[in-house]
Structure 1
């Protein structure tokens, strides 16, 4: 009995071990040159870059006091992968759950971390995280089933890197002169925000590597020469231990792997990260696609470059994440009450610019943050109309099973992230392997329940919060709407989000109205930014069904225009202007005639030239 009493006391005391973890972030511009190729402005914290890794224990209260000292840019923080259960107002995407935080304003994020695993944080306002505003967030868990095996752990971020500010990239990317929507090509790739890094290890030990792709565009492969590893976590979900030798990390995806070191420290081994070159429209000759870093057994030994045997990255055969089994063996969710069937489409609108769509909607931010519309709409909060046509909002019933069928009518892959949840991966076609990147033309393979069926759905589906949608393929996911809030579902390639590849889940609005209270400093940021906090998507707080004046996407092109036709038209117009410019310059010059022998202009009479003909 005494033993049971002590156990009970320990159980009661454990929550008392949770602590407040407080960070004070002064966000401002600094200068960095991580690839050694170019100095550039980056977004730093407290005058430094790279940014600090956030470390908390499961159960801690994370408090981040953020001051926007940028001077010329709004900002926010999204804690990627945090469920924010009961704290939807701390999720971070501007105009979804909060107002953008203007220069000179402060804002506090305050929430309990009741989950475990590998996450990251980044700006979620006006595409500013490619400017360096992103870093790892690690939730340590002493009760993890593998915790006793680990000698030490390393957090590894991999990212693409641009020398130009995102705000300066946008006018060229979203442009009449880029009608195909070709994404900006990175200038470099980084490993832990630098190059040529060594992870020091001892022989015959087990280490955990937390891998995060914090890039804006390019997926990356990861492997260690002459080493296998064991997957134990994806996107914060513990998995049955599974052996692999190559991983593919789309933007925002995370893995935790255990690496057992060799018995002797005779040499160092290359850690290879390889950019997925299939995503790049062009590959500059000076772009280094493959990086070598090292698993370092002996600092005094040589650090050899990787021996890469494949000619292109798509020749690699990565582990298929959809086959992983969650450690908790959560069974397949059945009988969805909501099924959302949408397709990714990339197309041009009547301004000639390339946009991204889910079906026929390119996400366009509302005039009032969607969460604030929920809280001010009263009984109309369950009516999707009040959230605007172009936020692509779906109202979800509390605790219902939700299914999303996402088809890809595009030739590129897309890593889709769901805020506020992880989801079950029921089916993805094609799976990782030889044909994952094969689709280049022709009809895409859209999901059809009648022909694809549900018999192939796994008993214990893999769960994660970011999943790569194959080119020309599809995936089917499910989750339980047990977390009232406004949650974005979007492609995490930041250029595609810039083009509008997102939609909104408004989950259990009645429960949100009952449970959520917005802190005063959040409203103060809205006031400073000049953003309304009541009303529908159009800012109408009198008639919530009147969307007059809502933000809208540009109009559709007249029938008959295609991307190829637009490209031809653009270049035809450009050639016409060049031709007219040449004629004008010729007419304004003092060139009279050219001597046929030496092609030098002379002052001889024009008739002489004709006579000599």
Structure 2
């Protein structure tokens, strides 16, 4: 009997607990920075969204009902591998149909062996910036570090307008350079002037998550240090620093040791990376001061200044505690050039190798599962999806050569990757530097691992991973604006294994959501179910600009058109008006001496006649 009970206990531990959550995404009122009331996306009428906690091997049953009424939605559990459950990964039209208003989607998966700090957010355009994001923690009963108390600290940029309002102005002929909208504020734990009450002689485990949509941030504290122990769900050999640099979607778990007295309170600072902003409005506060409070009766500190922001910690030096050595040479290489440019409609887009990601008519995972023998043919996934078919357990390199003058944080779904090379930033005045397999610094023996990493301006990164998680995985810039511009590609990993696995087949709930959304759940990227090699009618990007036409040319064209329209309006007004001495009035409005103007017209007319004959 004892053996049976022990066996049942071990099975229970292996299977884990089941967490059932029922949430309705809906618009609620909020004013996180204290400056403006606006609509945000809350759950069950509340915002910020809750911190969700599970443990290894736990099961999640997350019922998401779309109560937005005016928009589709989705949910992505960022950083989770989704073993056997690729359809639960969340990106719209990649692994799932969007959830239309009034419908409920069940995200049903096991978290597996992962532990650490993650987050969840909408993967429908703009909704992360509108507040649909929260922290997801996989607790570890065997955490190899001692601490007294845990704290979760989120940082984010914040806009006073809804992102869905800003998108039409962003993707617009009148924004030909693709300048991103500038946030109005920095938030810490979805507020400003945050107070963190601490006790002396304690060790705090702090989970930092950048849940914003655009700007990377520096984080530093007066009189305290960060001891880094985990990044993006990967334990690392501890390293101490005075400053973190955290891009959107990255996570750092650190230990912070408090002082042995309560003599003072201290400032915790977060600061925008201003190199990511095209313009800096005069009223934009670049620093946010929060407070580490030992004694609430004492004065709060002022802003804490540092000599330089160049001393932030370089995550490339971190070494995972699993001591996983560099994978073997790659079986398959994906090399992409990042560029921002205009297409024939005058709008600025983002490109991998001249392709701006254009969503297919059928979610790609469903094209795999309905593709049969054609599923290994990359062409069925569309001309504008930048797709790559990977073989099971192959070693893959992704080389990103950044031709752009800005940083980009890139995220790979379904995996962590080894970061085996990252070039130094290159000055705008110099040409970009691409990675060269025949001439590079030595790869680290035990590379840093994470699921989001930034590439420096006009430089490169090289990422290596093993294709051991069958599924369809998105690789994209995690700046919301750049994903909206199309800076993404997709990896179709082990399609034969996916098709053969009964656990990977589309659930009936998923099919019902697709039907309600009016989205096909079978066929190639063009929704063709009869001939998967026929892409007639697929979604494609706009045609290119005429040769030699640049963003500067578009600016000139736009303002010329504006001037022409204003000129026509003026002509119409004056032409329809019954005004005596109209010539004198027009000349006066234009600050022109009419006698001089008449002389110039006469001379021009004579010259024109001479040249014509």
- State the TM bucket, normalised to the shorter chain: over 0.9
For the 8 Å contact 2:370–2:523, the answer to whether it is kept is: yes
Identify the match of residue 280 of structure 1 among 260, 277, 282.
277
Task: Give the deviation of 1:600 after TM superposition.
Answer: 11
Task: Give the deviation of 1:105 after TM superposition.
Answer: 0.4
Matched, 1:206 2:203: yes
Q: CA separation in 2, counterparts of 1:113 and 1:600?
A: 75
**1:487–1:600 CA distance, 2 compared to 1 (3 A):** closer
Identify the match of residue 255 of structure 2 among 258, 282, 285.
258
For the 8 Å contact 1:355–1:500, the answer to whether it is kept is: yes
Query: Residue 469 of structure 1 aligns with which residue?
Result: 455
Identify the match of residue 168 of structure 1 among 165, 187, 194.
165
1:412-459 C-alpha deviation (Å, 9 max, x unpaired)? 1110000000000001011xxxxx4x522331011111222xx52101
**1:542–1:17 CA distance, 2 compared to 1 (3 A):** closer
Q: CA separation in 1, counterparts of 2:525 and 2:588?
A: 68
Counting only pairs closer than 5 Å after superposition, residues 395-434 of structure 1 correspond to structure 2 as: 395-430=389-424
1:259-287 C-alpha deviation (Å, 9 max, x unpaired)? 01111111111110001111111111111
Query: Residue 245 of structure 2 aligns with which residue?
Result: 248
The number of residue pairs the alignment matches comes to 585
Task: Give the deviation of 1:113 after TM superposition.
Answer: 1.4
**Partner SS state of residue 134, structure 2:** strand
Task: Give the deviation of 1:10 after TM superposition.
Answer: 11
Matched, 1:535 2:527: no
Task: Give the deviation of 1:62 after TM superposition.
Answer: 1.5
Counting only pairs closer than 5 Å after superposition, residues 466-505 of structure 1 correspond to structure 2 as: 466-505=452-491
Name whichever of 122-131 and 331-340 sits farther off: 122-131
Counting only pairs closer than 5 Å after superposition, residues 351-370 of structure 1 correspond to structure 2 as: 351-370=345-364
Matched, 1:513 2:470: no
Q: CA separation in 2, counterparts of 1:288 and 1:502?
A: 31
**1:258–1:11 CA distance, 2 compared to 1 (3 A):** farther
For the 8 Å contact 1:65–1:108, the answer to whether it is kept is: yes
**Partner SS state of residue 202, structure 1:** coil
Q: CA separation in 2, counterparts of 1:358 and 1:381?
A: 23
For the 8 Å contact 2:14–2:57, the answer to whether it is kept is: no
**Partner SS state of residue 450, structure 1:** coil
Query: Residue 235 of structure 1 aligns with which residue?
Result: 232
Matched, 1:592 2:592: no
Q: CA separation in 1, counterparts of 2:14 and 2:416?
A: 28
**1:586–1:212 CA distance, 2 compared to 1 (3 A):** same
Counting only pairs closer than 5 Å after superposition, residues 46-445 of structure 1 correspond to structure 2 as: 46-114=44-112, 115-146=114-145, 149-309=146-306, 315-430=309-424, 436=425, 439-445=427-433
For the 8 Å contact 1:594–1:600, the answer to whether it is kept is: no
For the 8 Å contact 2:326–2:444, the answer to whether it is kept is: yes
Matched, 1:581 2:575: no
Q: CA separation in 2, counterparts of 1:403 and 1:86?
A: 23
For the 8 Å contact 2:26–2:43, the answer to whether it is kept is: yes
Identify the match of residue 39 of structure 1 among 14, 33, 37.
37
Q: CA separation in 1, counterparts of 2:158 and 2:273?
A: 14
**Partner SS state of residue 522, structure 1:** helix
Task: Give the deviation of 1:60 after TM superposition.
Answer: 1.2
**Partner SS state of residue 372, structure 1:** helix
Identify the match of residue 549 of structure 2 among 554, 561, 567.
561
Q: CA separation in 2, counterparts of 1:59 and 1:500?
A: 35
Name whichever of 362-371 and 15-24 sits farther off: 15-24
Q: CA separation in 2, counterparts of 1:247 and 1:264?
A: 25
Task: Give the deviation of 1:26 after TM superposition.
Answer: 1.0
Task: Give the deviation of 1:126 after TM superposition.
Answer: 2.5
Task: Give the deviation of 1:591 after TM superposition.
Answer: 4.6
Identify the match of residue 444 of structure 2 among 458, 472, 487.
458
For the 8 Å contact 1:358–1:501, the answer to whether it is kept is: yes
For the 8 Å contact 2:176–2:342, the answer to whether it is kept is: yes
1:274-310 C-alpha deviation (Å, 9 max, x unpaired)? 0111111111111111101112211222111222245
TM-score by length of 1: 0.92
For the 8 Å contact 1:223–1:273, the answer to whether it is kept is: yes
For the 8 Å contact 2:402–2:455, the answer to whether it is kept is: yes
For the 8 Å contact 2:62–2:108, the answer to whether it is kept is: yes
Query: Residue 559 of structure 2 aligns with which residue?
Result: 571
Q: CA separation in 1, counterparts of 2:36 and 2:579?
A: 44
Task: Give the deviation of 1:125 after TM superposition.
Answer: 1.3
1:118-151 C-alpha deviation (Å, 9 max, x unpaired)? 11100001221111101111111121111xx111
**Partner SS state of residue 21, structure 1:** strand
> Which consecutive residues of structure 2, in runs of 5 or more, have no partner in the other structure?
599-613
For the 8 Å contact 1:411–1:441, the answer to whether it is kept is: no
Q: CA separation in 2, counterparts of 1:120 and 1:592?
A: 71
Query: Residue 607 of structure 2 aligns with which residue?
Result: none
**1:269–1:524 CA distance, 2 compared to 1 (3 A):** same
Q: CA separation in 2, counterparts of 1:202 and 1:589?
A: 78
> Which consecutive residues of structure 1, in runs of 5 or more, have no partner in the other structure?
431-435
Name whichever of 120-129 and 10-19 sits farther off: 10-19
